[in-house]
Amino acid sequence: MRTEVIKEFLVFARHLNFSRAAAELHITQPNLSKHMANLEREVGVELIDRRKHGKNRPVLSQAGKYFFEEMSYLDTSFQTTLERCRAIGRQSTHDIRIQELWQNNAMTSLYSMAGAFQTSHPNNTVRYMRLSQRRPIESLLEGESDVVLDVWCGPRQEHCRDLAALGVHTVHIITEPPVIWYQEGNQHVAGKEEVLLEDLLDIPVIMTRGGTHEYTVASWADYCERNGLSARLRHLQPADNTPTGMFMSDFHDGVLMTTPAMINDPRLRSRADLHWLEIDDPRIAVAFILAARASDKEACAFLDYVREHRTLAPQK
C-alpha cells in the first residue's frame, strides 16, 4: 500500500469532493477516482459511499471513517519519524533521559506530557531509565539522568530553594497525601478512621532493602529527622524485589506507606486481608517535583514545557 495513495485518501476525506481534492493534490479528477478505487480493492472493503446523497456528494462508509481516523494518526506518526530521521542525519537531536519512579499519578501525567513534548519538539527524544540505587537528585547531579521526579515530604518551597542553590531547575507537578496499607487485625491501625503524623511515630513503617527504593517512606523519614522526630522503620526483604512484590509480602504489625495511585492497583485490591487509609495531614503531604540541571538547556526546555502544560490536582 503506497503512502502517496494514503495521503490522497486523507485529502479526499477532508473535502469529500473529488474535484477539490484533486486540485489540492495537483492531479486530475479521473486519476484520483482511479486511485481511490484501487485502494478500496487493496483494502477489500468499500471506503467511499458513492451513492447520491443530497447534491451528489460522496460520503465515507463506516469502514472509511475508521480508516481515515487510523491513517490520520499513522500519517502524523510517519511525518514525525521522518522529521526525527532528518534531524539525526543533521546530528541535531538531543536525548532527554528521564528516571522513572514507580507507579504514581505524577509519573502518569509525566508520560503524557513527555509524549506531547516529543511531538512538538521532533529534535528531542525522550528516553526512560530504570531506578538507580541513588536518590533522584543524587542521580541527577552525577549526570546519570537528565530529568528526575523528586519526592519531598513537608513544605516544598524551601526544598526548591535548596535545589536552586545546587544549580537545579525545578517544576512542581503535584502534591498528594500519603496512603498507608495494613493487614487485617493490625493492632496499631485496626478500627481507626484517621491517622496523623503523631500516630505514625508509634507504628513500624516498612522500608525495603535491595534494588527498590521506597521514596515516599524515605522522604517521610527525612521529614521526621529534620523536625527532631524519631520514625519507627522496619525493613522488609520481599521475595519479589519490586514495589508490588513488597505489598504482596506479609508485614503483620507494620504499615506500608505509598501514594494514592497504588489504591487502584489490581494486585493489591485482590488481597482481601489488605486495607488502606489516606493520611490527611498537610505536614506530611508528599510533593512530586520535576528536576533538571540548570546548565542542561534541553532538559530545562522540557521542564518549561511541563510548567506550561501541567494540570495540577487540588493541593493539600
pLDDT in tens, 147-158: 999 989 888 898
Checking if the pLDDT of 32 tops 60, the result is yes
More confident residue, 61 or 1: 61
If asked whether residues 220 and 160 sit together in one domain, one would say: no
Checking if the pLDDT of 28 tops 70, the result is yes
**C-alpha distances in Å from residue 310, one per residue of 104, 109, 197, 224, 292:** 15, 8, 30, 30, 16
315 falls within a domain? no
If asked whether residues 63 and 196 sit together in one domain, one would say: no
pLDDT of residue 162: 94
Least confident of 60-74, 181-195, 204-218, 235-249: 235-249
More confident residue, 1 or 312: 1
If asked whether residues 278 and 186 sit together in one domain, one would say: yes
314 falls within a domain? no
**C-alpha distances in Å from residue 262, one per residue of 151, 243, 280, 289:** 16, 10, 16, 19
Residues 97-117 have pLDDT tens digits of 998 877 788 888 899 899 899
If asked whether residues 198 and 52 sit together in one domain, one would say: no
Asked which of 39, 58, 89 is the last residue of a domain, the reply is 89
Checking if the pLDDT of 312 tops 50, the result is no
If asked whether residues 192 and 265 sit together in one domain, one would say: yes
If asked whether residues 202 and 277 sit together in one domain, one would say: yes
Neighbours of 132 (CB within 10 A): 16
Q: Say what percent of the chain tops pLDDT 70.
A: 87
316 falls within a domain? no
215 falls within a domain? yes
Average pLDDT over residues 13-20: 89
Checking if the pLDDT of 118 tops 90, the result is no
Residues 78-103 have pLDDT tens digits of 877 777 677 666 656 688 999 887 77
If asked whether residues 108 and 157 sit together in one domain, one would say: yes
Reference 283, options 227, 245, 214, 217; nearest CA is 227
268 falls within a domain? yes
C-alpha cell at 245: 512484590
Asked which of 48, 71, 89 is the last residue of a domain, the reply is 89
CATH number, domain containing residue 7: 1.10.10.10
Contact criterion met (CB below 8 Å) for 125 and 96: yes
Checking if the pLDDT of 243 tops 60, the result is no
Number of domains in the chain: 3
149 falls within a domain? yes
Checking if the pLDDT of 274 tops 50, the result is yes
Least confident of 61-75, 135-149, 173-187, 251-265: 251-265
Reference 50, options 67, 64, 31; nearest CA is 64
pLDDT of residue 245: 67
How far from each other are the two terminal CA atoms of the chain, in whole angstroms?
54
If asked whether residues 267 and 194 sit together in one domain, one would say: yes
If asked whether residues 23 and 162 sit together in one domain, one would say: no
**Phi-psi sector, 185: left (phi>0), alpha (psi -120 to 50), beta:** left
Domain of 85?
3-89
- How does the average pLDDT of the chain come out, rounded? 84
Average pLDDT over residues 2-25: 90
Checking if the pLDDT of 236 tops 90, the result is no
More confident residue, 35 or 261: 35
Q: pTM of the prediction?
A: 0.66
Least confident of 12-26, 40-54, 283-297: 40-54
If asked whether residues 51 and 144 sit together in one domain, one would say: no
If asked whether residues 290 and 275 sit together in one domain, one would say: no
If asked whether residues 168 and 297 sit together in one domain, one would say: yes
Label residue 212 by pLDDT band (50, 70, 90). very low
